[in-house]
Amino acid sequence: MKDYMVKDIRNIAVLGHGSEGKTTLVESMLYAAGVIDRQGRVEDGNTVSDYDPEEIKRHISISASVAPIEIHGKKLNLIDVPGYFDFAGEMAGPLAAVEGALIVVSAVTGISTGFEKAWNETGKHGLARFIAISQVDREHINYRAVLDSLRGKAFTGAGKDRHEIPIPEDMKPLVEEALEACHEAAASTSEDLMEKYFDEGQLSDEEMLRGLSAGIYEGSIVPVAPVSSLDGIGVRPLLYALAMYMPSPMEHTYHGINPKTKSMHIRHADMSESFTAQVFKTIADPFVGKLSLIKVVSGVLTQATPLFNANADKPEKAAGIFMIRGKKQTPVSMLCAGDIGALSKLQYTSTGDSLCEIGKVVQYDSIVFPAPQLSMAVYAKKAGEEDKVFSGLARLCEEQPDVIVAKDPMTTETLISGQGELELEIVRQKLLSKFGADALFKDPKIAYRESIRKTIKVQGRHKKQSGGHGQFGDVWIEFSPADEGVDFEFVDAVVGGAVPRNFIPSVEKGLRENLVKGVLAGFPMTGLRAKLYDGSYHPVDSSEMAFKTAARIAYKQCINASPVLLEPIMHVEVSVPDEYMGDIMGDMNKRRGRILGMEQSDGKQLIVAEVPQAEMFKYATDLRSMTQAKGSFKMSFERYEEVPAAISAKIIEAHKADLADDEE
Ligand SMILES: Nc1nc2c(ncn2[C@@H]2O[C@H](COP(=O)(O)OP(=O)(O)OP(=O)(O)O)[C@@H](O)[C@H]2O)c(=O)[nH]1
Ligand SMILES: [Mg+2]
């Protein structure tokens, strides 16, 4: 591959709803540009982009992949981004690395949720946008209807390579209409072009290029191109239009800071500036090891560049510099401003990090990944393989920053969280295939708690005096519900030395040690007040241990203080389009939820509710199917509440059975 000037580079993310034809379009563009001599098919598992065994097995894209194409003297770095919502985490990185987006919408299904999300996200990033209406070769399509539904969002017009395509008679009116629309759109981007257009009724090619590029760059023009990737119809004109009209990185200004001095730095895609780059994706490659995919923001990178990681505040050393196309890595001696490539074996670097030169530190905004929507508990299938499982997961999480593995402080389980069940299942499969570690993903435990509802006064008397050193400890404790929000309160109300001062801390310690196991089912006790108000001791046989045991005996009698089971209640905010509100509320009621309120927000209905955590497992999956993935939700812990009696009986039984299993 030859070196390209910055002005001739086009970085383009290919986005859209799942199965709309993104990978197939990238494949047919590679073929049309002569990069590959045989066009692969997703069904045959031989496309350039979908090279991961899991992708080949499932015929969907799972991770973003880069496919550079050289055409019309330009270098188009296409990044094929998965459309399925389980892989939503794969969009954030590429959006930080590109200046343009090609959003694919199928002529069969028209605008869908994935299109809306891609449209909104690319809008937020201020990217230049093209739309490809794919699958126009399919039957029962209504191209016009799709075009009209897009009209509300974009300008219509087919990019065209005049020198190549003869126009059939019956298509002439459509092409004329599109050409006229192109002229109007180009003219609308500046006063002088508007004037010229009104005076002469048309613009020159150069003026068209200037006008359309300006409009596409500022977002007022979004070209729409019909394509059939299987037959290649419209693919070459689209390539031409992307090469001609998409902005180069030169048009952008990049803002960074020096994290230590807080000084601001402005960078341009200029080879004379110092080298800076951002890592937008990390791949754990079985052969070259860790690969960090980078977008060179400014300057030039060679093996001699003194690399520095601004986020880790550490010098870095790359084993190699590569150009990437699908799974193929081609070693190169340098990467220039504006271009996309990869570095191998960086030690301290993760996705989102900024790389620069030692002594010329610039850090760009980190990449924000979507918050996890679903969690599962992780166990090694075979005892003793825990390390293998968790070290493998740590490696895989480097590749997928939206997947998080962390200990749940409430249940001490290790949880893996991500966008959806499919994403987590694929992580589990990769753990097995790449690292030979077999894991079990289960529904996480609920951090139930126990408490008491009644006040009782009880005695805990421990006496063992059968030869040798005896043991004696005797306490009277009043157990009662503590104030709201208090976990445990110990009150020393001993008078007259009934329990010697030095043993009172042992009573408290004894109680605290036992609180981890409630009297009802063995869940941790909370909201308990223990007032030690009397007792007795033996001058010889009393000891710390004896009083701890006495405390335990007293504590066990909390079973008579109307103990109850408490469950975590979550504060849930669900954002959905109006038409789904009824379903969501009905579903919330089925989950023992309490609707607190509804309000309009961002053009959607925001439903606020409180729902038991136990009813919210896999809510991400259910919400997606109830709202065709148009809904989103946020959830956070609110408080503990009593579990209804009927439900608590089942939970207690199940937990006792679990504890019995653990003891075996
Ligand atoms: N007839 C026809 N089928 C197409 C065309 N483009 C894609 N397909 C088919 O549509 C299906 C999905 O295509 P993909 O390219 O995998 O779609 P995608 O958008 O990459 O899907 P994800 O990566 O899973 O989001 C495959 O069966 C393709 O063969 C087209 O232009 N015409
Ligand atoms: Mg795909």
pLDDT per residue over 306-350, tens digit each?
999 999 999 999 999 999 999 999 999 999 999 999 999 999 999
Q: Is the CB of 18 under 6 A from ligand 1?
A: yes
| Residue indicated by tokens 């909104």 | 120
- Distance (Å, whole) CA 207 – CA 192: 10
On the question of pLDDT at 131 being above 50, the answer is yes
Q: What is the DSSP letter of 233?
A: B
Residue of 235, 236, 212, 220 whose CA lies nearest to 104: 235
Question: Comparing 192-201, 291-300, 345-354, 540-549, which segment has the lowest mean pLDDT?
Answer: 192-201
Q: Which ligand is nearest to the CA of 19?
A: 1
For the chain, the C-alpha Rg in angstroms (whole number) is 32
Are 30 and 68 in contact, with CB atoms under 8 Å apart?
no
Question: pLDDT tens across 434-448, in order?
Answer: 889 999 999 999 999
Cβ count within 10 A of residue 498 = 15
What residues flank ion ligand 2 with Cβ within 5 A? 22-23, 61
Ligand 1, atom 24, residue with closest C-alpha: 60
Q: 374 vs 656, which has greater pLDDT? A: 374
Buried b vs exposed e over 117-133: b needs ≥16 C-beta within 10 Å?
A: bbbebbeeeebbbbbbb
Residue with tokens 């990737």: 229
Helices 172-187, 205-218: inter-axial angle, 10-degree rounding: 70
Average pLDDT value for residue range 247-258: 95
The residue whose two tokens read 């610039």 is 362
Burial 583-607 (b: 16+ CB within 10 A, else e): ebbebbeeebbeeeeeeeeeebbbb
Using pLDDT thresholds of 50, 70 and 90, give the confidence band for residue 558.
very high
Mutation pick for ligand 1 pocket among 17, 23, 138 (CB with most ligand atoms within 8 Å):
23
Using DSSP's 3-state secondary structure scheme, residue 373 falls into coil
Q: What is the mean pLDDT of the chain?
A: 92
pLDDT (0 to 100) of residue 600:
87
What is the reported pLDDT for 208?
Answer: 87
Q: What is the DSSP letter of 366?
A: P
Q: What are the angstrom distances between the C-alpha of 431 and each of 56, 71, 300, 390? A: 17, 39, 37, 9
List the structure tokens of 310. Answer: 């601004």
Cβ of residue 93 lying under 6 Å from some atom of ligand 1: no
Cα(181)–Cα(73) distance, integer angstroms: 27
Quote the percentage of the chain above a pLDDT of 90. 81
The answer, yes or no, to whether any atom of ligand 1 lies below 6 A from the CB of 42, is yes
604: helix, strand or coil:
strand
In the reported structure, the alpha carbon of residue 133 is separated from the centroid of ligand 2 by a whole-number distance in angstroms of 15
Q: What is the β-pairing status of strands 9-15 and 100-106?
A: parallel
Encode burial over 206-243: b for 16+ CB neighbours within 10 A, e otherwise.
ebbebbbbbbbbeeebbbbbbbbbbeebbbbbbbbbbb
Q: Could you identify the residue written with the tokens 């789904």? A: 580
Torsion over CA: 373, 376, 377, 379 (sign): negative
Is pLDDT of 6 > 60?
yes
pLDDT given at position 285:
77
Backbone angles phi, psi at 564, to 5 degrees: -130, 160
Quick one: CA dihedral 213, 214, 218, 219, positive or negative?
A: negative
Question: What is the dihedral sign for C-alpha 110, 114, 120, 121?
Answer: negative
Q: Looking at residue 153, what is its pLDDT?
A: 59
> What is the best residue among 17, 19, 22, 235 to mutate for testing ligand 1's pocket, by most ligand atoms within 8 Å of CB?
19
Q: Is 20 a pocket residue for ligand 1 (Cβ < 6 Å)? A: yes
Greater pLDDT, 571 or 199: 571
Q: Which ligand is closest in space to the CA of residue 27?
A: 1
Q: Is the CB of 21 under 6 A from ligand 1?
A: yes
Element (H, E) at 567: strand 563-576
**Contact, 529 vs 492, CB < 8 A?**
no
Can you give the pLDDT at residue 166?
59
Q: What is the pTM of this model?
A: 0.88
The whole-number average pLDDT for the span 607-626 is: 94
Question: Token digits for 411?
Answer: 């249940």
3-class secondary-structure state, position 226: strand
User: Tokens 């020393």 correspond to what residue?
Assistant: 492
| Ligand 1 atom with the shortest distance to the CA of 227 | 31
Q: What is the pLDDT of residue 161?
A: 42
**Dist CA 197 CA 211 (whole Å):** 11
Determine contact, residues 110/116, Cβ cutoff 8 Å: no
Specify the range with the lowest mean pLDDT, choosing from 451-455, 569-573, 627-631. Answer: 627-631
Confidence of residue 157 (pLDDT cuts 50, 70, 90): very low
DSSP 517: S
Q: What's the rounded Cα separation, in Å, for the pair 12 and 102?
A: 7
Mutational pocket test of ligand 1: of 42, 57, 112, the residue with most ligand atoms within 8 Å of the beta carbon? 42
Q: What would the DSSP string read from start to end of 395-428?
A: HHHHH-TT-EEEE-TTT--EEEEES-HHHHHHHH
Quick check: CB of 23 below 6 Å from ligand 1?
A: yes
Task: Characterize the bridge pairing of strands 74-80 and 9-15.
Answer: parallel
Q: Supply the pLDDT for residue 16.
A: 97
Q: Is the CB of 138 under 6 A from ligand 1?
A: yes
The rounded distance, in Å, linking the Cα atoms of 663 and 55 is: 42
Q: What is the number of the ligand 1 atom nearest to the C-alpha of 60? A: 24
Q: Look at residue 343 in the predicted model and tell me its pLDDT.
A: 97
